Structure 1
């Protein structure tokens, strides 16, 4: 059962990766027509936006770990 899920997930990621490269035409157009400071600003914005999902997932994993550790005792 576990192997089937991993295989389906892998195939799903493999076949949808082609579509994921073409999702941000506006960002690409802005970077191509702008200067280097504009591209740097867009990269900083993307980095800023990506910090919060990683923090939330990390916090969730920490809470789960702590909950399991408390219930083991």
Structure 2
């Protein structure tokens, strides 16, 4: 469907890595892990800790740890 609509299709892993690289470029070189960047992205979208935990398949405590 994506290709038929004229857009590029990338597997979820490639999309995730690409998104992380874009974020790193925007905020400069950092020591954040990919998971921390995932949490940061979700927070920037206004998602709650519970929503982030569900989306990333982790506990809310893990989300809070990555926020620190």
TM-score with structure 2 length normalisation?
Answer: 0.26
- Bigger relative contact order, structure 1 or 2 (CA pairs below 8 A, ≥6 apart): 2
User: Which protein is bigger by CA-based radius of gyration?
Assistant: 1
Structure with the higher fraction of residues in helix conformation? 1
TM-score with structure 1 length normalisation?
Answer: 0.25
